[in-house]
Amino acid sequence: MTPMPKWALSALAVALLSACQSDAPASEADQKTDPRTFIAEAEADMAQISETAGRAQWIYANFITEDTAALASEAGRIYTEKAVHYASQAATLDASGLSAEEQRKLDILKRNLTLPAPADPAKSQRLAELGTELGGLYGKGRFCLEPDNCLSQPQLSSIMASSRDPEELERVWAGWREIAKPMRPLFSEQVQLANQGAQALGYANVGELWRSKYDMPAADFPKQLDGLWDEVKPLYEALHCYVRGELGEQYGAEVVPQDQPIPAHLLGNMWAQQWGEIYELVAPADLPGPGYDLTALLAEHGYDEIKMVEQAETFFTSMGFAPLPDTFWTRSLFVEPQDRDVVCHASAWDLDNREDIRIKMCIRKNGEDFRVIHHELGHNIYQRAYMDQPFLFKDSANDGFHEAIGDVISLSITPNYLKEIGLIDDVPPAESDIGLLLRQALDKVAFLPFGLMIDQWRWQVFSGEITEANYNAAWWELRQQYQGIQAPVARSEADFDPGAKYHVPASVPYTRYFLAHILQFQFYQALCEEAGYQGPIHRCSLYGSEEAGAKLNTMLEMGLSQPWPQALAAVTGSEQMSGQALLNYFAPLHQWLDTQNQAAGRQCGW
């Protein structure tokens, strides 16, 4: 679910980068450089190395070995030092005489780092090594159910999704988290070094740097998030109350106490971030359901991994987008290799800032991954749409936009779409809508607090509010506060449960996913209106609408060239992010949940 950023470093770029490496801070002469000359030279330099950098990072993610790790680590050090050097220079330049476009490019150079390295070459090298080590621990992580049966994260996640045995689920849940324990001291050291790098650039800590990337003062961004969460929180609380009650019926109150947070291992997902896999456990027997099983339909119609991707491509071509290039099909990774370690986490890649777009994904032939493929291709379509922008603008309006675009297409995997492509013969009647909305909410609504709390935890780690002494305790306090979830077994500071989630060892900011779950509904509602759709918004599909495709492409082509409110307005007509479109989408379900909870006499909250 992640687009690999153009700033991700290359392993094999070492030779190219060494020739232009700069370990020293900006000199006095550098500081007097003409800003326009500096921007042009920095942009050309970063564009030149980007393609080789991306290809090398691709190799490491697809062939995790000691050699590729060492190369990636060394290249990471060089690349980060270069980016820090440009950021440091950019911070000293007078931008008063620059055009709005030039000032925007200068700002991007200042802040376009995730983990800035200290100027000290030894510390920079160590920071790069830490990132590689953490990524390797996650990518190579296995839990052995038996001595000869060691499973990867996707295989373990399949058990979490399908098993209904609380003891088995508890064992797998706890087993996967064993892989994160060795990460704890590495992560702590990484935080300290990255904070030094951020402070050298004028930020209080890395968290402030991350929050500075949203076209508003860093201090204002958390307030915007709080407002969005307050807007949608009542819907989540109703869903939580309903699901806890139904799980209590399934497992008994001794397993799922009705006045406490829900045990995290019972929600069908390794991280309890999406709950769709337990739909059949929580949907009432008399509730008209979707009437079909997407996983079974894919198998019935002979969908293998490639055909699933081909069908997702067809969605975009039906909206007027060009087909994927031939290189996409020959260079992507679709199936988990059995002969080597790879990072299976689904991701979309843009390797040459033009048309060498790919996905890397260990596809499982099920309905969930069918949706994820549509999502990942959304990243690729976005990447290709802004390829004619200057290099520094080759990105989404903000990181939430990139995630939201793929999800807009996933929302369109409605019964109408499935009928159009021949997977079902008839669209279920209107009375089945509550079942469809419940299934959607178990993924979309359930995710909202999880999407918010991960960076709440990291921002407090970066600021020092959370120290190494209470990493794990603070993690579970936030999970309880936001999600109403608790660990199924005792946890201690010997554990490092945040590291069991890919985005923490990979240093991928996570607030983008929360924003995406808000923005996707805004985009979707506006594009359905553009397509001329009339009816319940949750039944709309954008499949086949070139009008919606053209409006969407107008925004995609803007890339990062304009502040995100202007990009948002290009599709929605409004410059304000709002949860109202999400609430509109789920309004029939919200009413139904309240009725069910009241009828059952449930005491909601935790």
Q: If DSSP states are collapsed to H, E and C, what string results for 84-127?
A: HHHHHHHHHCCCCCCCHHHHHHHHHHHHCCCCCCCCCHHHHHHH
**Encoded tokens for 23:** 């370990």
Catalytic residue among 75, 208, 376, 506: 376
Helix extents (H) in 252-325: 279-282, 294-300, 305-318
Catalytic residue among 138, 513, 533, 543: 513
**Encoded tokens for 297:** 């339909």
- How big, in percent rounded to 5, are the helix, strand and coil portions of the chain? 60, 5, 35
- Active-site residue 242, yes or no? no
Can you say how many angstroms the Cα of residue 183 is from the centroid of all Cα atoms in its chain?
A: 21
Catalytic residue among 240, 345, 517, 590: 345
Query: Do 456 and 475 contact (CB within 8 A), yes or no?
Result: no
Catalytic residue among 42, 83, 119, 346: 346
Catalytic residue among 374, 379, 517, 538: 379
- Active-site residue 346, yes or no? yes
Query: Do 445 and 235 contact (CB within 8 A), yes or no?
Result: yes
- Active-site residue 379, yes or no? yes
Angle between helices 511-530 and 580-599 (to 10 degrees): 100
Angle between helices 166-177 and 153-162 (to 10 degrees): 160
Handedness of CA 24, 28, 31, 34 (dihedral sign): negative
Q: Strand 485-486 to strand 262-263: parallel, antiparallel, or no bridges (unpaired)?
A: parallel
- Active-site residue 503, yes or no? yes
Query: Do 538 and 440 contact (CB within 8 A), yes or no?
Result: yes
DSSP secondary structure code for residue 333 in this structure? B
**DSSP annotation string for 336-354:** --SSS----S-EEEESSSS
Say how far apart CA 272 and CA 443 lie, in whole Å.
10
**DSSP annotation string for 352-406:** SSSS-EEEE----SSHHHHHHHHHHHHHHHHHHHTTTS-GGG-S-SSHHHHHHHH
Say how far apart CA 113 and CA 202 lie, in whole Å.
13
Q: Which residue, 437, 451, 587, 598, is CA-closest to 510?
A: 451
Question: What radius of gyration do the chain's Cα atoms show?
Answer: 24
Catalytic residue among 85, 374, 402, 503: 503
Catalytic residue among 375, 402, 517, 538: 375
- Active-site residue 303, yes or no? no
- Active-site residue 345, yes or no? yes
CB atoms within 10 A of CB 561: 19
CB atoms within 10 A of CB 532: 9
Spatial CB neighbours of 518, under 8 Å, sequence gap ≥ 6: 228, 232, 400, 404, 577, 578, 579, 582
Say how far apart CA 540 and CA 196 lie, in whole Å.
49
What are the catalytic residues?
345-346, 375-376, 379, 403, 503, 513
